[in-house]
Structure 1
Amino acid sequence: YPLHYSVFQGDIKRVSALLRTCDVTEQDVHGNTALHLAVMLGKKECVHLLLAHGAPVRVKNAAGWNPLAEAISYGDRQTITSLLRKFKQQSRETLEEKRPELLQALKELGDFYLELKWDFHSWVPLVSRILPSDTCRIYKSGVCIRMDTTLVDFSDMRWQRGDLSFIFNGHLRPNVSLVVLDNELKVFQRIRCEETEMEIEEEVDILMSSDVVAAQMSTKAITFQRAQTGWVFREDKTESVGTFSADYYHIGGILLESRKRREHLSAEDLKKNKELLDSLSRGFFHFTCMQNFLCLRIDPPPHPSPVKASAGDARALWPHLGRPMVVKETRKSLKATVAMSEEFPIRLDRLLDVLEIIAPFKHFLKLREFVQLKLPSGFPVKIEIPVLPTITAKITFQEFQARDSDFYPESFFRIPNNFKEDPNRFPDL
Structure 2
Amino acid sequence: MIPANASTRKGPEGKYPLHYLVWHNRHRELEKEVRAGQVDIEQLDPRGRTPLHLATTLGHLECARVLLAHGADVGRENRSGWTVLQEAVSTRDLELVQLVLRYRDYQRVVKRLAGIPVLLEKLRKAQDFYVEMKWEFTSWVPLVSKICPSDTYKVWKSGQNLRVDTTLLGFDHMTWQRGNRSFVFRGQDTSAVVMEIDHDRRVVYTETLALAGQDRELLLAAAQPTEEQVLSRLTAPVVTTQLDTKNISFERNKTGILGWRSEKTEMVNGYEAKVYGASNVELITRTRTEHLSEQHKGKVKGCKTPLQSFLGIAEQHGGPQNGTLITQTLSQANPTAITAEEYFNPNFELGNRDMGRPMELTTKTQKFKAKLWLCEEHPLSLCEQVAPIIDLMAVSNALFAKLRDFITLRLPPGFPVKIEIPIFHILNARITFGNLNGCDEPVPSVRGSPSSETPSPGSDSSSVSSSSSTTSCRGCEISPALFEAPRGYSVLGGQREAATRDDDDDLLQFAIQQSLLEAGSHHLGGTNQQQARHPPHVL
Structure 2 gaps of 5+ residues are: 1-15, 210-218, 313-335, 438-471, 502-539
Question: Paired residue for 2:83, among 35, 43, 66?
Answer: 66
Specify the code of the residue in structure 2 equivalent to 1:420: S
In structure 2, the CA distance between the partners of 1:241 and 1:97, relative to structure 1 (3 Å rule), is same
Q: 2:421 aligns to what?
A: 385
Q: 1:228 aligns to what?
A: 254
Comparing 265-274 with 335-344, greater Cα deviation is found at 265-274
Q: 1:292 aligns to what?
A: none
1:234-383 matches, cutoff 5 A: 234-275=261-302, 306-307=338-339, 315-316=349-350, 320-350=354-384, 351-359=386-394, 360-383=396-419
Question: Paired residue for 1:31, among 42, 48, 51?
Answer: 48
Aligned residues: 409
Secondary structure of the residue aligned to 2:500 is: coil
1: distance between equivalents of 2:416 and 2:268? 10
Specify the code of the residue in structure 1 equivalent to 2:252: R
Specify the code of the residue in structure 2 equivalent to 1:398: G
Q: 1:130 aligns to what?
A: 147
Comparing 252-261 with 115-124, greater Cα deviation is found at 115-124
- Answer yes or no: is 1:169 the counterpart of 2:186: yes
2: distance between equivalents of 1:329 and 1:120? 23
Specify the code of the residue in structure 2 equivalent to 1:379: F
Counterpart contact for 1:249–1:339, Cα < 8 Å: yes
Q: CA deviation at 1:55?
A: 2.1
Q: CA deviation at 1:104?
A: 0.7
1:109-148 matches, cutoff 5 A: 109-148=126-165
Question: Paired residue for 2:33, among 9, 15, 18?
Answer: 18
Specify the code of the residue in structure 2 equivalent to 1:415: A
Q: 2:196 aligns to what?
A: 180
Structure 1 gaps of 5+ residues are: 285-303
Counterpart contact for 2:379–2:473, Cα < 8 Å: no
Q: CA deviation at 1:152?
A: 2.4
Comparing 247-256 with 154-163, greater Cα deviation is found at 154-163
Secondary structure of the residue aligned to 1:411 is: helix
Alignment root-mean-square deviation, CA:
3.4
Q: CA deviation at 1:231?
A: 4.2
Counterpart contact for 1:153–1:362, Cα < 8 Å: no
Specify the code of the residue in structure 1 equivalent to 2:246: K
Once the two structures are superposed, what CA deviation does each residue of 1:56-95 show, in whole Å capped at 9, x if it has no partner? 2222333333332222222211011101111111122222
Q: 2:317 aligns to what?
A: none
Comparing 400-409 with 2-11, greater Cα deviation is found at 400-409
Percent identical: 35
In structure 2, the CA distance between the partners of 1:342 and 1:44, relative to structure 1 (3 Å rule), is same
In structure 2, the CA distance between the partners of 1:134 and 1:267, relative to structure 1 (3 Å rule), is same
Q: CA deviation at 1:54?
A: 1.8
1:382-421 matches, cutoff 5 A: 382-401=418-437, 407-421=477-491
Specify the code of the residue in structure 1 equivalent to 2:87: E
- Answer yes or no: is 1:2 the counterpart of 2:17: yes
Secondary structure of the residue aligned to 1:331 is: strand
Specify the code of the residue in structure 2 equivalent to 1:8: W
